[in-house]
């Protein structure tokens, strides 16, 4: 579905992404984890050409993305990021209609799809006429996800999409997203620095450090055979946290 070969990107003298290669199959979610500055966001943005690579190649469903107009390419890829970026001068319905309008859909078709999308991300139909400023953070991110899904893309790119949400909301939106992407069979690349989130949502995890992809595999593979101590510690974090949480909560018994 998504194939990445030898992606490289330099910013001035600094090598932000160095020779990164991976594949993501249909219906598969790859989480890219690593410290800030490890190159995961840059890697993600080279897939929909928000950033142009200095070297390497990205193909989606067999087509080289460099051969497409960038804006045509992006219309076929769902993109969600932490700041959400809802258009503040448009209502929820108008926000959801934007990608469809760009594809030249008719008014009626757009209206029907907007209703469908609100149901898909479990938002009340009454929110359609509200402006983003009148929504809670969780509602805003659901709208962000719905907008990314509007044109029924086969590929989704998510850049720390739930990082700014409070824990309860975050948990709800995560689970709802997990169900959705399995149901829709999306190929997704998901950038996060939260290992617990990566373990819960991802089919495979890619660990990045200083622009390089140091290891890629299922959570179980990474836990069983980490390539170095850093990866081992990284994979152990959620487990350690879970144990600590269980101990504290179950302390009396």
Partner 1 sequence: MSGPLSEQLALLPEYLSAHVRLTLAALAAGTLVAVPAGILAHRVRRLEGPVLGVAGIVQTVPALALLAVMVPLLSGLGLPGIGTLPALLALVLYSLLPILRNTVTGLHGLDPAVLEAARGVGMTPSQRLRLVELPLALPVIVAGIRTATAWTVGMATLSTPVGAPSLGNFIFSGLQTRNSAAILTGCVAAAGLALVLDLLVRTIARGCALQRRRPIVLALLGLAALAAWAFAPAPRVARGAVGRTLVVGAKTFTEQYVLAEILAGTVHERAHHGARTLSSLGSTVAFDALRRDEIDLYVDYTGTLWASVMGRTDAGPGRQEMEDALRRWLQDEAGVTLVARLGFENAYCFAVRRETAERLELRTLSDAARHAGELSLASDYEFFARQEWRSVEARYGLAFRDKRTMDPSLLYQAIASGQVDAITAYSSDSRIRTLDLVVLEDEKGAIPPYDAVVLASPRLARESPEVLAALRTLDGAIGIDTMRALNGRVDEGRETPAAAAESFLAVRRKQR
Q: How far is the CB of 32 from partner 1 (least distance, A)?
A: 17
Nearer residue to partner 1 within complex by CB, 74 or 204: 74
Q: How far is the CB of 199 from partner 1 (least distance, A)?
A: 27
Burial class, 176, CB count within 10 angstroms (exposed 0-12 / middle 13-18 / buried 19+): middle
d(C-alpha 121, C-alpha 139), whole Å: 9
Nearer residue to partner 1 within complex by CB, 73 or 120: 73
Q: How far is CA 198 from the centre of its chain?
A: 11
Token code pair at residue 235: 């994979």
32 in Cβ contact with 208 (< 8 Å): yes
Spatial neighbors of 157 by CB under 8 A, at least 6 apart, are 44, 47, 48, 77, 78, 79, 80, 188, 189
Nearer residue to partner 1 within complex by CB, 148 or 222: 148
What is the phi-psi region of residue 203: left when phi exceeds 0, alpha when psi lies from -120 to 50, beta otherwise? alpha
Q: How far is the CB of 215 from partner 1 (least distance, A)?
A: 29
Q: How far is the CB of 228 from partner 1 (least distance, A)?
A: 34
Placement of tokens 């990107």 in the chain: 9
Q: How far is the CB of 131 from partner 1 (least distance, A)?
A: 9
Nearer residue to partner 1 within complex by CB, 84 or 110: 84
Nearer residue to partner 1 within complex by CB, 120 or 143: 143
Q: How far is the CB of 99 from partner 1 (least distance, A)?
A: 5
Residues that bind partner 1 (CB under 8 A): 48, 50, 71-76, 79, 81, 83-89, 98-99, 102, 147
Alpha helices in the chain (DSSP H): 40-47, 70-75, 92-102, 107-120, 137-149, 167-184, 195-201, 219-224, 229-249
Nearer residue to partner 1 within complex by CB, 147 or 209: 147
Of 18, 11, 9, 4, the C-alpha closest to 208 is 18
């Amino acid at each position: 579905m998504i194939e990445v070969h030898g992606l490289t990107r330099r910013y001035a003298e600094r090598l932000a992404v160095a020779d990164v290669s991976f594949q993501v199959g249909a219906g598969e979610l790859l989480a890219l984890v690593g410290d800030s500055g490890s190159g995961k966001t840059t890697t993600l943005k080279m897939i929909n050409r928000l950033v142009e690579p200095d070297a390497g190649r990205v193909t989606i469903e067999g087509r080289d993305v460099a051969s497409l107009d960038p804006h045509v390419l992006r219309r076929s890829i769902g993109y969600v990021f932490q700041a959400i970026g809802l258009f503040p001068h448009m209502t929820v319905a108008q926000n959801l209609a934007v990608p469809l309008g760009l594809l030249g859909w008719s008014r009626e078709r757009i209206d029907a799809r907007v209703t469908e999308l609100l149901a898909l991300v479990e938002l009340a139909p009454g929110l359609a006429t509200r402006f983003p400023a009148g929504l809670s953070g969780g509602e805003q991110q659901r709208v962000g996800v719905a907008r990314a899904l509007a044109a029924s893309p086969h590929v989704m790119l998510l850049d720390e999409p739930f990082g700014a949400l409070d824990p309860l909301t975050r948990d709800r939106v995560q689970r709802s997203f997990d169900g959705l992407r399995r149901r829709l069979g999306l190929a997704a690349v998901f950038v996060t620095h939260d290992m617990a989130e990566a373990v819960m949502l991802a089919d495979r995890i890619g660990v990045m450090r200083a622009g390089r992809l140091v290891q890629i595999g299922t959570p179980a593979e990474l836990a069983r055979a980490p390539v170095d101590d850093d990866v081992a510690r990284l994979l152990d974090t959620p487990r350690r946290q879970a144990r600590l949480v269980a101990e504290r909560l179950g302390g009396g018994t």
